[in-house]
Amino acid sequence: MRSVANVVLSEMITELLKELGEECSKTLKLLSQLEIEDLAPEQVASILAELGAAVVHLHAHTDGLQELINDEIERL
């Protein structure tokens, strides 16, 4: 188990939140790349393709996460 500010979270929720954070960081990086000026259409298409995959991963990582978070809150 992992301690966060003297609160112990289950290993499962800790790992899921870590993975979610990583996927959110990747998504933010892709979004910032879209703001670069003078991108070629191929570059935009590549970024959008990666962004589409990231959205699918985010959806998968968040499926059922609310219930797990609620269970963790009740456990605390």
Q: Is residue 59 part of a domain?
A: yes
Q: Is residue 26 part of a domain?
A: yes
What is the tally of structural domains in the chain?
1
Q: Is residue 44 part of a domain?
A: yes
Those residues with Cβ within 8 angstroms of residue 55's Cβ, 6 or more apart along the chain or in another chain: 27
Q: Is residue 31 part of a domain?
A: yes
pLDDT of residue 8: 79
Which portions of the chain are predicted below pLDDT 70? 1-6
Domain containing 39: what range? 12-75
Q: Is residue 20 part of a domain?
A: yes
Q: Is residue 18 part of a domain?
A: yes
pLDDT of residue 12: 87
Q: Is residue 2 part of a domain?
A: no
Q: Is residue 3 part of a domain?
A: no
The terminus-to-terminus CA distance of the chain in angstroms comes to 13
pLDDT digits (tens, 9 = 90+) for 39-51: 999 999 999 999 9
pLDDT of residue 67: 93
